[in-house]
Amino acid sequence: MQLECLTPKTINEAISLVGKYQAKAKVIAGGTDLVIQLKNKLRNPDFLIDLTRIPSLRIIDLDEKRGLKIGALATVRTLETSPLIRSKYPLISQAAGQLGSVAIRNVATIGGNLCNASPSGELSQAMMALSATIRIIGPRGERELPIEDFFQGVGLTALANDEIMAGIEAPILSPNARGAYAKHSPRGSIDLAIVNVGILLTPSDTDQSCRDVRIALGAVASTPMRARKAELLLKGEKISPRLIERVAEQAADESDPRPDTLGSVEYKKEMVRVYVARLIGRLASQMVH
């Protein structure tokens, strides 16, 4: 059967098509990952459901109560350059700027990047550090899912065959929260990450201690992950070089990488340690004295 492309113009029409064809169909947004998978016969759907004609899925909006709302079709380049995101959620723009080339970022979407469910996907660490929530729509209505529950394995998400990701929401941040992202790869942004790290740190209002911290790691487990034990070492404590090293070592211990052509287990764990320490040190230096 020849691959057929369907182009719904509303979310309801898209849901109807996904419900009708389910496992026989794949949803396409930017297509930067899916097109390669189709070419290499890693995916063999009978139908492509193209969401690009649904303008409501391109929204980027800040709600003072619920936080940042991003539609699934928002391009990575838009996330990188948006004045709103750069000023309010710079962690997202930092991560977006590390995804491929500008040409790729102009086409790739946040929905496609997250639904591809790569353990090293650049935006997943940023959104996980922000405690973002995925908005999912299907024939049974709408549901929201914490991003940590969205990823189920390499290339696997919690989406049912008759559901689509409509967008993602990140909560309002504390005014003094600081975020940092880093990607370690052979040739910078154009390569897959050996390790990537996203950290959100919120200092105390009264002293130089850490009120809250979220450390998200990529490419070092079957899904993006939080280094929760490392976070607990830092919460409520005054940040010092010695504590930073302890936290970084704990994050490396929590990671569970697999050896591949990009590096050994030992090398990847060492890179987790290096980058977690580097980013926490950078964020600590930004705290008001």
Q: Would you place residue 192 in the very low, low, confident or very high pLDDT band (cuts 50, 70, 90)?
A: confident
**Rounded to whole angstroms, how far apart are CA atoms 197 and 180?**
8
Domains (range + CATH), the chain: 4-50 (3.30.43.10), 55-170 (3.30.465.10), 178-285 (3.30.390.50)
**Rounded to whole angstroms, how far apart are CA atoms 213 and 172?**
15
**Segment 151-164, tens digit of pLDDT:** 999 999 999 999 99
The predicted pLDDT at position 1 comes to: 58
* Pair 239, 280: CB distance under 8 Å: yes
**Segment 16-35, tens digit of pLDDT:** 999 999 989 888 888 777 77
